[in-house]
Amino acid sequence: MSHFNIEAPLVCVAAVLSVGMANATPIAVATYDFSGNSLAASEIGAPSLTAIDPASANAFVTDSVFGTTKTVYQFDGTSVSGNQGGLALNTTGLLSSSAYSVDIVFSFDSNGPSWERILDASNRSSDNGFYVEPGGKLQIYPVGNGPDFWTFGDYHRVTMTNDGAGHVSAYLDGNFQFDLITTVMDFATYAANPNDLLTFFSDNTSGPAQTEWVPGKVSLIRLYDIELNSGDVGDIGGGGGNNGSIPEPASLALLSVGLGALGFRNRKRKHSA
């Protein structure tokens, strides 16, 4: 009669499950994919986006995003201050701490006069914020920018993470761009933003340089109430209209191997009895 240790494969499977749980993919607190021509979040209880549309030019349209035809939200208007389209989100009660991350799939139609605003945490009270700068790179103004070039007229996935205590990172199409020491994206920096409002694509309406805006389209916005790390950015992928398939997580692959080994051992035991 042959002998074997059934505990070994079980230990292996338990260890793999433990790794999988320890490296769980972050869950968004609010997801906006604009399906059904709606600015509502997919998550029950999460607030809806609010349109910034002074020119009555924004619209839901159909477009091809990374090879998939879907509904997107077109923001339009002119670069004149007070006439720019975009979106806003009141995050009061949505975020459990001052740390947050934003994952966006969008395009800018054309290269504007200088900077193009992506995201603002000041309630449009400051020129400081997250931009595509004149050289075509992601930038936290006025602190620093990344190495990769933005292409206008194409959809890109942009991820910004903020620890809420003066530390910001950004990724372009999943590729790391910068890691900066700055409070520019901290809500607490701005007294004019008591509701922790996030503004997408529209430039500031007070202070200098109020025309840094171009029209575009957005396919997906996801908000997380944590600071994502590089592994998290890879795990969450592109989402609705993604920029590539997500590989099978290593933990799931190892789990399959572990379960396969357990099955083989059980068959061997039965045949050897």
Q: What is the pLDDT of residues 58-95, one digit of tens each?
A: 999 999 999 999 999 999 999 998 899 999 999 999 98
Pair 258, 27: CB distance under 8 Å: no
pTM beyond 0.95, yes or no: no
Q: What are the boundaries of each domain within the chain?
A: 31-241
Side chain identity at residue 171, one-letter code? Y
CA distance 33 to 72: 7
Q: What is the pLDDT of residue 179?
A: 96
Q: Phi/psi at 148 (nearest 5 deg)? A: -90, 155
Q: How far apart are the C-alpha atoms of 61 and 104, rounded to whole Å?
A: 17
Percentage of the chain surpassing pLDDT 90? 71
Q: Cβ atoms within 10 A of the Cβ of 76, count? A: 19
Look over the chain and give the mean of its residue pLDDT values, rounded to a whole number: 83
CATH class of 31-241: mainly beta
Is the distance from CB of 62 to CB of 74 less than 8 angstroms? no
* pLDDT tens, position by position, 220-265: 999 999 999 999 999 998 654 443 333 333 333 333 434 344 343 3
Q: How confident is the model at residue 204 (pLDDT cuts 50, 70, 90)?
A: very high
pLDDT for 9 beyond 90: no
Of 103, 88, 101, 120, the closest CA to residue 225 belongs to 101
How does residue 22 score in pLDDT terms, banded at 50, 70 and 90?
low
81 C-beta neighbours (distance < 10 Å), count: 17
